[in-house]
């Protein structure tokens, strides 16, 4: 299924956090923090600062989580994105 965000929105795939600590302790799902990094999958027409494939950092509680074809994504407003890796 194809999804195209509207206006200044970005569709991004969150990066999963580590399931184990460096010392080998397994972190349960309930204790994991929400990911704050994601790979941009699609951008709306009004988005100017990021493009497909960029890895971005966004605010901790930003965006709306959705599921498309059993994959988790987050829809962000462009102003919720704090920066991108180059």
Flag whether pLDDT at 67 surpasses 70.
yes
pLDDT tens digits for range 2-34: 889 999 999 999 987 666 666 777 666 555 566
pTM for the model stands at 0.79
Q: In what order do the strands lie in the sheet with 9-14?
A: 64-68, 71-77, 9-14, 37-43, 55-58, 81-84
| Coil, helix or strand at residue 72 | strand
Domains along the sequence of the chain with CATH = 9-84 (2.30.33.40)
Please state, in angstroms and rounded to a whole number, the distance separating the CA atoms of residues 36 and 9: 16
| Coil, helix or strand at residue 25 | coil
Do the beta carbons of residue 37 and residue 24 sit within 8 Å?
A: no
């Amino acid at each position: 299924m194809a999804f195209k965000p509207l206006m200044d929105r970005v569709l991004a795939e969150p990066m999963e956090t580590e399931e184990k600590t460096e010392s080998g302790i397994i972190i349960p799902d309930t204790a994991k923090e929400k990911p704050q990094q994601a790979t941009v999958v699609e951008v709306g027409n009004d988005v100017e600062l990021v493009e497909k494939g960029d890895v971005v950092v966004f605010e901790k509680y930003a965006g709306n989580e959705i599921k498309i074809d059993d994959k988790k994504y987050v829809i962000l407003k462009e102003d919720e994105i704090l920066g991108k890796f180059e």
